[in-house]
Amino acid sequence: MSRCRQCARLAAFRDEIKDRHPEYYCRPVPMFGDESARLVIVGLAPGLHGANATGRPFTGDYAGILLYETLHRLGIANRAQSLAVGDGLVLTGARITNAVKCVPPANRPTAEEIRTCAPYLNVELAALPEGGVIMALGRIAHEAVLRAFGAPLARHRFAHGARHEVAGRIMWDSYHCSRYNTQTRRLTATMFEEVLRAAAREVS
């Protein structure tokens, strides 16, 4: 995956950013966390100056602030901040990934790019045993998870706090912990913690 250039637009954008910021990671961002985890958190895509720069999901950008603070509060992360690879952050019982592994322009992958990247997410989710739990951050992640398991989208509507049974796994939906959602109060820290706590409680 680390050398994937199947999406011409995304590959070109990564090259452009790498020219401007040679120190940035600028490659497909791998999954992070406990390899034996039974809880997988799925986001949208790496942030331009976050995961795309650091090489770790939700690290170095605004969206990661609420995510890692909440994981720490629930005892899943050993610290409340994710600053950089090698900062000592450890997750217990959880892994974090994205539906699209490369940073997209304006944080908006195309439908074709989501489909092209799907096999990587499918492999990650296939490793989650039955009884495992998925937390989907936003509609795109929600739909990507359903497609990974061949589940019909029409039977599983996205809604914040919604719970779905999918191919022997449980999926919980949450609004994405983006700057827009948190600053407009569409998603509050309390709302986010309630869903993540519910998902973590179901891990068998």
**Sign of the Cα pseudo-torsion (56, 57, 61, 67, in order):** negative
Contacts of 101 (CB under 8 A, 6+ apart): 1, 4, 28, 29, 30, 45, 46, 117, 120
Question: Which two tokens mark 104?
Answer: 């997209």
Separation CA 164–CA 174 (nearest Å): 12
Q: CB atoms < 10 A from the CB of 12, how many? A: 12
Separation CA 7–CA 5 (nearest Å): 6
**pLDDT of 136-179, one tens digit each?**
999 999 999 999 999 999 999 999 999 999 999 999 999 999 99
The whole-chain average pLDDT of the chain stands at 96
Separation CA 202–CA 204 (nearest Å): 6
Whole-model pTM: value is 0.96
Separation CA 116–CA 100 (nearest Å): 9
**pLDDT of 66-113, one tens digit each?**
999 999 999 999 999 999 999 999 999 999 999 999 999 999 999 999
